[in-house]
A and B are shown apart, each in its own frame.
Chain A
């Protein structure tokens, strides 16, 4: 090597250039490989464009592919130079070797440089009519590539009509790719503002196409089957009979070895089954769905997870699908956590009188595993089972007592939270448990568990002799506790006062004093003032408000609204069905209208169980603000869409934080200025990180009556107002 040369004439690229122009073929090829290797690790080798291009004209297929790979990567940045390659491409599309022809047309479509596009039409025209099916199927996809770049060229050259003809091709693979290309074009056309041009590009499936698709379905490759099944899912059947016919033709695909084919077939059957009204046929179809769904559980964990999320949806729609199959969802020790959590959820869904014993002993096993998250979920599942199956509630409570006796801190805490729900569902049934729970008072260190236990004490204050003493300990440390615990302490003490007015007067005065004077949460302060006013103004009204009858809670059969469920069923096996969210929420591409926003707002209500999925999305959206990796320039349409999605999912992100930060309210309060955050609605309590997620489950004090009376609370703006407080104090 000669080190004395000028700067631009040394370095790796210089060496590569020399080798690319070498007279030896092997050396040239080796150099191309090194160029590709550099390209892969992200080094800029675009400067070698002309030198690489020289090696394009070769009869070595491998070398040709390498050069093409290079071209595809840099064509966009070097459009003038790509022109030089056009000749070779066009020549190659006339090559006697079909592999070369297909390669040329495939690569030309990928170059994505305006200059070369105009030269693409003629060869593409030729390849679409090629005698070789391999070339035809490659050309079919190339039309979609062209549409993506310059739709008018596809329209002007009649490529669209040709594609539609190709749906009747004799070769199943060509049919599949024609369907794929048409769907791709349909999708991009439907995202554009409507015009006659875009409407022409829509892929309408007629009855004749339907027949063609059903025939090709049995013959093409697995991926082709998925494409065809996706198209079939869009078809609107003319009548019941046709729907039945489609289902019957698609059901054999349940036996396919590829999980995505099975799920795509499920989707078609679920959609078309809506039109089938004969009970026996529906039953027969449903029965055939169970075995393949169970088989999907033998797939690799990732596929399994997708399947489980979809099974969860299917069960919400048709709870009879897997009624006898709970055992297959038992967790294996080495299942990944995400699979285990999903299995737990499904097991609770499938729980019934007949299998509840097996389920409980299984859940008890899980509660002794290592992963804290999973253990908590298992304990929670025991509570859900108790709420779901009344006859098994007692057994569930016994299991929970067993778990509490292990004294493993997080198990005990979760069990206490769960017991609170059980008390909500079966009031005054399991009072015998209360002493055991109270005995664990010292073990509790998590706000949610503490708040739950305090709620229980307040609720059953009349039956617990030392309720005042127990609550007293919490009043002593009132200011140190987190806000949810403060709120519950406050309410519980007031309840105690209602039930035992004589003995509890001192404590209630003390807690109201602390809450109104020393507490820095407006929420707690407000509630204290409201109680204070109520107690002093009209004790009878206070009693009817504070000790109001609460409707019993029940386990929601669905986690999403009925309309959304139907939409998600039509999206089986896609991301939407995995997240249990409509696609707009995570694609975030400026397509959210007022209607969608409304619907989204409605969904916030039944967030509960699907929160986790959204958290991932929300975290992602935040990440996108930091890392703008989008190629397309930001524009108005997009921005508004993002803004919309970010807004709706931020509370969920806050929820995510709520798990770790001690005072999630701090942040929220500073955002909302402390107003309108009364912990009064179930939905609100869910959003602001109170200890009772899920509207139905929250045993919030019946302060709903208090929400319309903000004027009652005088100390919101100036907590040091002395006068009204003195008046109130005088009343006691």
Chain B
């Protein structure tokens, strides 16, 4: 017992470090003003006043240059979503990737529960949020965070602890912990159906001259499985996985640089013989993510010609062409064409769609509801500029294009087969859909080298007229003769 007593004394004196573990000490949600909406402390080594530290150093600080801030021994991890800060505090050498993944998981769970996550939805659902975060973190360690499972026992209507519920709870708990935590055993459907959506997001950086600097495809294969029992599925694509770079150059096969799977897919089987086999969760889930960088078919080409006429005008000629098969069509095509900050008005002429100058965002937004394959559209316009004392040259942000093309994959990926195996006379119907879209990552740069020299002329002219540009702050120019 003497040892124990000594131990206790020692614990009283020495603060307890946690160098290697990675529990989250506290979890907070703040609104934009830095008011606490949700606060949950998982360990006693922090006080609630830690929230004030975050408010002072992050919320009211306009120049936050990293998503993690360490103050003393506490580290603040924050993610901004809409008008909220989701923040986790740790007091040790925490697993940074895990904390951020967790924050994003929380956001996606909240979205799936409330439809959206913002101040209003958090305020009106705070009881449910407390229930959720206590379920998904215990003692600072993330626990079950599968939305489907959570929804079975954390609901907006309260569960009565009736005898019937006991049996139900047993099922839920075994699902929440089981090897197949994602599926209930007793699923029944009249008609067995499986829908597969291949959704590809194209990321592009193209230079003003039209050369591709970077193009890649982020693919998601979403599945909606309405299948009876616990069926075993096998899934096949026309991929040639580029594990060995030297094996490149197969004919119609698509090269996937990397793929990642839902936890239901047996990773070791995929690693050994490249088969994708799994027991699907019930309902909608993301089966697989992949990335492809070779032979990306760019469905939309944009050729911008942007000229600065003196200091008072910018003229635009932007043409856009759909390069895919004429049987297909692109929908919701939106171009965001940047204008200088000192634009007063912008006039645009377009043959298709509508173009409008949005002063708040400093862009001309050109919306084309539908474009047939092979079609070409052009926008011509001018932006009028005011004279300005602000001498920093216009940085010329890139043109951003959003679009959707149905039944087209930029990577060329196709689903070869989806087989469903289950005991007995089992019939299933399978549907496949393809969609390629761009969402903020399809950028065409507008800076050309011609323009660079033009700009330097301009600045030199200014220099000649004695209006020397001094854009840096701080040190002042000492006159020297």
A96 touches B166 (CB 8 A): yes
Q: Is residue A605 within 8 Å, beta carbon to beta carbon, of the partner chain?
A: no
B445 touches A365 (CB 8 A): yes
A447 touches B3 (CB 8 A): no
B127 touches A188 (CB 8 A): no
B141 closest partner in A (C-beta) = A180
> What CA separation (Å) do A449 and B359 show in the bound complex?
38
Residue in B96, B460, B463 whose Cβ sees the most chain A Cβ within 10 Å: B96
Can you list 7 A-B pairs, Cβ within 8 angstroms, ordered by A?
A134-B174, A221-B146, A445-B470, A587-B17, A621-B72, A627-B52, A629-B53
Chain B min CB distance to A157 (Å): 13
B480 touches A36 (CB 8 A): no
A295 touches B258 (CB 8 A): yes
> What CA separation (Å) do A659 and B459 show in the bound complex?
27
Chain A min CB distance to B191 (Å): 30
Q: Is residue A623 within 8 Å, beta carbon to beta carbon, of the partner chain?
A: yes
Chain A min CB distance to B50 (Å): 5
A82 neighbours in B (Cβ, 8 Å): none
Q: Is residue A222 within 8 Å, beta carbon to beta carbon, of the partner chain?
A: yes
> What CA separation (Å) do A337 and B37 show in the bound complex?
28
A187 touches B21 (CB 8 A): yes
Q: Is residue A287 within 8 Å, beta carbon to beta carbon, of the partner chain?
A: yes
Q: Is residue B95 within 8 Å, beta carbon to beta carbon, of the partner chain?
A: yes
B60 neighbours in A (Cβ, 8 Å): none
Please classify the interface of chain A as helix (H, G, I), strand (E, B), loop, or mixed, using the class held by over half of its residues.
Answer: helix
Q: Is residue B57 within 8 Å, beta carbon to beta carbon, of the partner chain?
A: yes
Chain A min CB distance to B4 (Å): 5
Which of A223-231, A540-548, A672-680 has 4 or more CB atoms under 8 Å from chain B? Answer: A223-231
> What CA separation (Å) do A392 and B196 show in the bound complex?
49
Q: A99-B153, A196-B3, A303-B97 are in contact. Are A635 and B268 (CB under 8 A)?
A: no
Q: Is residue B93 within 8 Å, beta carbon to beta carbon, of the partner chain?
A: yes
Q: Is residue B144 within 8 Å, beta carbon to beta carbon, of the partner chain?
A: yes
Q: A135-B173, A258-B101 are in contact. Are A141 and B66 (CB under 8 A)?
A: no
Q: Is residue A348 within 8 Å, beta carbon to beta carbon, of the partner chain?
A: no
Q: Is residue B406 within 8 Å, beta carbon to beta carbon, of the partner chain?
A: no
B260 neighbours in A (Cβ, 8 Å): 255-257, 262, 292, 295
Q: Is residue A424 within 8 Å, beta carbon to beta carbon, of the partner chain?
A: no
A218 touches B96 (CB 8 A): no
Q: A257-B286, A410-B471, A590-B15 are in contact. Are A98 and B169 (CB under 8 A)?
A: yes
Chain A min CB distance to B276 (Å): 10
Per-residue 0/1 for B150-184: is the Cβ within 8 Å of any A Cβ (1 yes, 0 no)? 00010000111111011001101110111101000
Per-residue 0/1 for A116-152: is the Cβ within 8 Å of any B Cβ (1 yes, 0 no)? 0000000000000000111101100100110010011
Residue in B44, B127, B166, B468 whose Cβ sees the most chain A Cβ within 10 Å: B127
Chain B min CB distance to A395 (Å): 14
Chain A min CB distance to B46 (Å): 6
A99 neighbours in B (Cβ, 8 Å): 153, 169, 172-173
Q: A445-B475, A445-B478 are in contact. Are A37 and B3 (CB under 8 A)?
A: no
Within 8 A of A (CB), among B425-481: 440-441, 443, 445, 447, 452-453, 455-456, 459-460, 463, 468-472, 474-478, 480
B139 touches A145 (CB 8 A): yes
A222 neighbours in B (Cβ, 8 Å): 145, 263
A614 closest partner in B (C-beta) = B70
Q: Is residue B142 within 8 Å, beta carbon to beta carbon, of the partner chain?
A: yes
> What CA separation (Å) do A307 and B67 show in the bound complex?
13
B174 neighbours in A (Cβ, 8 Å): 132-134
> What CA separation (Å) do A33 and B205 show in the bound complex?
51
Chain B min CB distance to A593 (Å): 13
Given contacts A66-B127, A255-B259, A300-B104, 14 further A-B contacts (CB under 8 A): A37-B126, A134-B174, A187-B19, A198-B7, A252-B268, A406-B459, A407-B469, A408-B392, A408-B393, A409-B469, A445-B477, A587-B73, A624-B73, A629-B50
B92 touches A587 (CB 8 A): yes
> What CA separation (Å) do A95 and B165 show in the bound complex?
12
Which of B210-218, B314-322, B327-335, B349-357 has 4 or more CB atoms under 8 Å from chain A? Answer: B210-218
B395 touches A586 (CB 8 A): no
A660 touches B14 (CB 8 A): no
Which of A455-463, A472-480, A498-506, A705-713 has 4 or more CB atoms under 8 Å from chain B? Answer: A472-480
B161 touches A59 (CB 8 A): yes
Chain B min CB distance to A141 (Å): 5
Within 8 A of A (CB), among B12-63: 13-23, 35-39, 42-50, 52-53, 56-57
Q: A141-B139, A305-B67, A623-B53 are in contact. Are A171 and B10 (CB under 8 A)?
A: no
Within 8 A of B (CB), among A279-321: 287-288, 291-292, 294-295, 298, 300-303, 305-307, 310
A260 touches B95 (CB 8 A): yes
Per-residue 0/1 for B94-107: is the Cβ within 8 Å of any A Cβ (1 yes, 0 no)? 11111011111000
A377 neighbours in B (Cβ, 8 Å): none
How many residues of chain A are within 8 Å of chain B by beta carbon? 160
> What CA separation (Å) do A193 and B13 show in the bound complex?
11
A627 neighbours in B (Cβ, 8 Å): 52-53, 56, 71
Q: Is residue B419 within 8 Å, beta carbon to beta carbon, of the partner chain?
A: no
Which of A325-333, A508-516, A529-537 has 4 or more CB atoms under 8 Å from chain B? Answer: A325-333
Q: A252-B271, A635-B13 are in contact. Are A62 and B472 (CB under 8 A)?
A: no
B6 neighbours in A (Cβ, 8 Å): 195
> What CA separation (Å) do A258 and B108 show in the bound complex?
13
A134 neighbours in B (Cβ, 8 Å): 173-174, 176-177
Please tell me which one of the listed residues B18, B214, B243, B460 contacts residue A288 in the complex, with CB atoms under 8 A apart: B243
B37 neighbours in A (Cβ, 8 Å): 40
A223 touches B267 (CB 8 A): no
A73 closest partner in B (C-beta) = B41
A133 touches B477 (CB 8 A): no
B245 neighbours in A (Cβ, 8 Å): 287, 324
A264 touches B95 (CB 8 A): yes
Please tell me which one of the listed residues A253, A294, A334, A588 contacts residue B72 in the complex, with CB atoms under 8 A apart: A588
A447 touches B455 (CB 8 A): no
B232 neighbours in A (Cβ, 8 Å): none
B70 touches A586 (CB 8 A): yes
Q: Is residue A573 within 8 Å, beta carbon to beta carbon, of the partner chain?
A: yes
Please tell me which one of the listed residues B21, B53, B271, B293 contacts residue A251 in the complex, with CB atoms under 8 A apart: B271
Please tell me which one of the listed residues A288, A476, A629 contacts residue B480 in the complex, with CB atoms under 8 A apart: A476
A338 closest partner in B (C-beta) = B66
Q: Is residue B131 within 8 Å, beta carbon to beta carbon, of the partner chain?
A: yes
Q: A42-B48, A586-B75, A637-B13 are in contact. Are A616 and B456 (CB under 8 A)?
A: no
B15 touches A575 (CB 8 A): no
Q: What are the nearest 10 A-B pairs in CB distance?
A: A624-B72, A291-B258, A134-B173, A62-B158, A583-B93, A252-B267, A620-B71, A260-B98, A589-B17, A223-B142
Within 8 A of B (CB), among A431-465: 442-443, 445-447
Please tell me which one of the listed residues B56, B102, B161, B452 contacts residue A61 in the complex, with CB atoms under 8 A apart: B161
A197 touches B3 (CB 8 A): yes
Q: A586-B73, A629-B49 are in contact. Are A574 and B22 (CB under 8 A)?
A: yes
> What CA separation (Å) do A637 and B100 show in the bound complex?
32
Q: Is residue A161 within 8 Å, beta carbon to beta carbon, of the partner chain?
A: no
A298 neighbours in B (Cβ, 8 Å): 218, 289, 291
Chain B min CB distance to A58 (Å): 9
B471 neighbours in A (Cβ, 8 Å): 372, 408-410
> What CA separation (Å) do A402 and B455 show in the bound complex?
12
Q: Is residue A657 within 8 Å, beta carbon to beta carbon, of the partner chain?
A: no
Q: Is residue B79 within 8 Å, beta carbon to beta carbon, of the partner chain?
A: yes
B159 neighbours in A (Cβ, 8 Å): 61-62
B173 touches A578 (CB 8 A): no
Q: Is residue A690 within 8 Å, beta carbon to beta carbon, of the partner chain?
A: no
Within 8 A of A (CB), among B174-206: 174, 176-179, 181, 203, 205
A573 touches B97 (CB 8 A): yes
Q: Is residue B417 within 8 Å, beta carbon to beta carbon, of the partner chain?
A: no
> What CA separation (Å) do A262 and B101 show in the bound complex?
11
B66 neighbours in A (Cβ, 8 Å): 305, 338, 616
Chain A min CB distance to B28 (Å): 10
A369 touches B395 (CB 8 A): yes
A362 closest partner in B (C-beta) = B213
